[in-house]
Amino acid sequence: MSLRLGAMLPEVFRHLFKRPATVLYPFEKNTVPARLRGRPVMDPDKCIGCRMCERDCPAEAIEVTQESETRTDDGKVKRRFSMVVYVDRCAHCGQCEEICPAKPDKAIKLNEFFEEAAFDRGALKIVYK
């Protein structure tokens, strides 16, 4: 291959007339992908309290607590659980959602929220009850 000075120049000139490849975040935002693993959100109405998410979370970001135990008229025990998620520790791996056995809908899911920065660490301790 022979050397060619300025091999890049045509490309450089063409870019004078192109739109910038970057967006002006945070004023402009790209759409997030449908599969994004954002913030874990738990629904206490669906949780059966198996604690599989707590056991599997690699970042130890989940704490499940039993809130109440009631007996229905037909003698069934109904328990309600609350959850604390420390999103500053969360690694967004999605293992909690994957392992959750609640049916027909999972009790913990990762949503599309990704802007987790905060000035106060306390704001990153999220309680679902």
29 or 55: CB nearest ligand SF4: 55
**Shortest spacing between CB 82 and ligand SF4, in angstroms:** 10
How far apart CA 65 and CA 84 sit, in angstroms, is 8
87 or 95: CB nearest another protein: 95
Residue 18 site contact among ligand SF4, another protein, none (CB < 5 to 8 Å, cut-off depends on kind): none
Binding interface with another protein (CB under 8 A):
1-5, 7-8, 11-12, 21, 33, 35-37, 55-58, 91-95, 98
With a CB cutoff of 8 Å and minimum separation 6, the contacts of 82 are: 44, 64, 65, 67, 127, 128, 129
User: DSSP assignment, residue 74?
Assistant: T
How far apart CA 27 and CA 50 sit, in angstroms, is 42
Say if CB 23 and CB 30 are below 8 A apart. yes
Given the DSSP bridges, would you call strands 40-42 and 108-110 parallel, antiparallel or unpaired? antiparallel
Q: Does 125 sit near ligand SF4 (CB under 6 A)? A: no
Interface residue with ligand SF4 among 91, 118, 123, 127 (CB under 6 A) is: 91
Sites of contact with ligand SF4 (CB under 6 A) = 40, 42, 47-53, 57-59, 61-62, 64, 85, 90-96, 99-100, 102, 107-108, 110
